[in-house]
Amino acid sequence: MEKQIEKHSQTDKPKDDWAEYMLRVAQYKDADAFSELFSHFGPKVKAYGLSLNSMHTSPEMADELVQEVMIKVWEKARFFKPEKANVSTWIFAIARNCRIDYLRKMKRITSPLSADDLWPVFEEPEPETLTELKNSGLQIEKAVHNLPVEQVAILREVYIEGKTHAEVAEQTGLPLGTVKSRLRLAMEKLRTSLVADPGERAGTQ
């Protein structure tokens, strides 16, 4: 019998707490902190794996992805810079790269480069313009929930299912221009709802 891991209350923690867990893993190899990260991010990584628009997608692949990602989180914890990015941004990038490498393995593509070479995660400092988006905790999630359904749907297809714009257009029957404009609108909405709500952000800290 599988026990569901649903520590949903943890979603309500300010993002900084996850950064503290990361630092504990980086500095002290703290397995308890790592276990908390696993409980929270494991199901997200698995859902991300299961959502991939590919013939290679399977529950086994998704479980393997969770393991690969968590091992990388452990091994690369020292590269995590809380002042540069929040934990979920960092783990999303790791999950994307692990998923790409998994697909390459399935397609038997041999190459001197790994996804980390082409999508650098571990050295690239993120630019300062992101400060607005970082550490803003709860209302970031609210911002996503406030988007119109069709914008959330298209963000999902692009970022989670890994479809190209052309694939989204083909599968939804929407013109490519509509795909692009929905993405742009979603982006603008997210940006304004994050910037327009400074009072609430201060309240979460």
Partner 1 sequence: MTQHCPDSQWLTEYVAGSLSESQALCVSTHLNFCETCRSQAAELNTVGALVFDNQAPSASVDPAMFDQIMNRIENPIHTEQPALSARPGALEPLSAVEKLPLAIGKLMPEGMDNLRWKKLGKHIRVANLDRLDEQRDISLHKLMPGGTVAEHDHHGEEITVVLCGSFSDQDGVYRAGDFIVRKPGETHRPMVTDDEECICLSVCDAPVKFTGMFTRLLNPLVAYQHKH
Q: Smaller CB distance to partner 1: residue 114 or 203? A: 114
> What tokens appear for 149 in the block?
């359904």
Q: Which of 38, 77, 135, 182 binds partner 1 (CB under 8 A)?
A: 38
Nearer to partner 1, 44 or 201 (CB): 44
The verdict on 126 binding partner 1 (CB under 8 A) reads: yes
Count CB-CB contacts under 10 A for residue 27: 11
Place of tokens 């397609």: 107
| Residues within window 133-172 making contact with partner 1, judged by CB under 8 A | 133-134, 140-141, 143-145, 152, 155-156, 158-160, 162-165, 167
Asked if 32 touches partner 1 (CB under 8 A), the answer is no
> Cα(178)–Cα(2) distance, rounded to whole angstroms?
42
DSSP 26-48: HHH--HHHHHHHHHHHHHHHHHH
Does position 114 bind partner 1 by CB under 8 A? yes
Q: In this complex, which beta carbon is closest to partner 1, that of residue 24 or of residue 46?
A: 46
Exposed, middle or buried, 44 (CB in 10 Å: 0-12/13-18/19+)? middle
Residues 71-110 that bind partner 1 (CB under 8 A): 71, 74-75, 86, 88-89, 91-93, 95-97, 99-100, 104, 109
Task: Give yes or no for a contact between 1 and 13, defined as CB atoms under 8 angstroms apart.
Answer: no
Q: Does 44 bind partner 1 (CB under 8 A)?
A: yes
Q: Which is nearer to partner 1, 2 or 205 (CB)?
A: 2
**Rounded CA separation 68/87 (Å):** 17
CB-nearer residue toward partner 1: 56 or 156:
156
Q: Do 37 and 49 contact (CB within 8 A), yes or no?
A: no
Residues that bind partner 1 (rule: CB under 8 A) add up to a total of 79
